[in-house]
Structure 1
Amino acid sequence: MTLRVKDMVAAAETEIVTLRAEEAKARHGAADVRFIDLRDRRELEREGRIPGAFHCPRGMLEFWIDPESPYHKPIFAEDVQFVFYCASGWRSALSAKTAQDMGLDKVSHLGGGFSAWRDSGLPVEQVTAK
C-alpha cells in the first residue's frame, strides 16, 4: 500500500480551511452557515450532534452535492458556508476537499470533529432513533 488515509487527510488539510471548535462556535447559528454531520446514524443516536446540523452520511456526499445526480439535496445548492464534521476530523477533511473539488466554494471542516466540539463544552443536541 503506497497511499495511507493519514496521508490523504494531511494532503487535504493543506487545501481546505480547518476551524477550531471555538471558531466553529462563532459561526454556528449564522443564517449563511450550514453544519454538515457526516457520521453514521448510530453515531448520531449514541452521541448527539451539533444543534441544527444537517445529517449527510459520508457515503452519500458526492451524490447529494451533484446537481445532476438523482439523489441531489437542495441544501448543497445554497449559497452558504458549509462546515463539515465527523467524529475526529478525518472524514470531514476528506469531505471538505471533495466538496471543494466539486465546486462548493465556501467550505471548511471542524478540526478534531464532534469530539473537539463536545470536549470544548459546546452545545450538543440529542438525536432520537428512527
Structure 2
Amino acid sequence: MSEQAVHKGEAKAGVGGVEERPVGIDELLQRVRAGYTRVEPREAYEAAQHGEALLVDIRYAALRERDGLIPGALVVERNELEWRLDPQGSHRVREATSHDLRVVVICNEGYASSLAAESLQRLGLRRATDLVGGFQAWRAEGLPVASGAGAAE
C-alpha cells in the first residue's frame, strides 16, 4: 500500500498481511478489557491488605500531589511501567519478582490503566489488571488516602 493511501485513512496491512480497520479508543478499551477481569476498589484494597496484589499508581505527579496517594501503592509513572515491572528487566523494581505477580494498575479514572494492564499482560504478567474507576473511585469508596505533598517516585 502506498504512503499516500495510508494518509487518506485507508486500512493498512496488519500482522500476517490481514487488512485492519482503524479503531477508536472506546472500541480499543472494550477489546482490551475483554481480555481480563478488572477489580473494584474494595477488592483491590482487600487483596493488597492480604499481600495478594501489588497496587501500582501510574498517575502523574501533579495528580498525586493534588489528590493524594494510596498508602502502600508503588508509584511508577506510565512511561516507565513496563521497564519497572518486567521481572526479567534490568530496570525492574524489587517488587517485580515473578510473572505470576498480581498487579493492579491505578490511573486517575480507570482508562489509561486498562491499556497499561494489557501491556503488562503482553510482557507475561498474566495476572495484571486495573482498577475500575481508578483513584477517583478508590477515594469515593472512602478507602485510605495519604497526602500527596512531597511524594517520592
Using the size of structure 1 for normalisation, the TM-score is 0.88
Structure 2 gaps, min length 5: 1-8, 10-21
Structure 2 distance, partners of 1:46, 1:33, is 25
Aligned 1:1-130 pairs, distance under 5 A: 2-67=22-87, 69-78=89-98, 79-129=100-150
**Paired residues of 1:17 and 1:107 also in contact (CA < 8 A):** no
Aligned partner letter, 2:147: Q
Normalized per residue, the structure richer in strand is 1
Structure 2 distance, partners of 1:67, 1:34, is 14
Please state how far the C-alpha of 1:73 moved relative to its aligned partner: 2.2
Superposed CA offset, 1:34-69 (max 9, x none)? 100010111111101211100010111122233554
Please state how far the C-alpha of 1:71 moved relative to its aligned partner: 2.7
Does the residue aligned with 2:72 lie in a helix, a strand or coil?
A: coil
Structure 1 distance, partners of 2:87, 2:102, is 17
Sequence identity (%): 28
Greater C-alpha Rg: 2
RMSD across aligned C-alpha pairs, in angstroms? 1.9
| Alignment length (residue pairs) | 130
Runs of 4+ in 1 over 4 A off after TM superposition: 67-70
Structure 1 distance, partners of 2:145, 2:84, is 25
Structure 1 gaps, min length 5: none
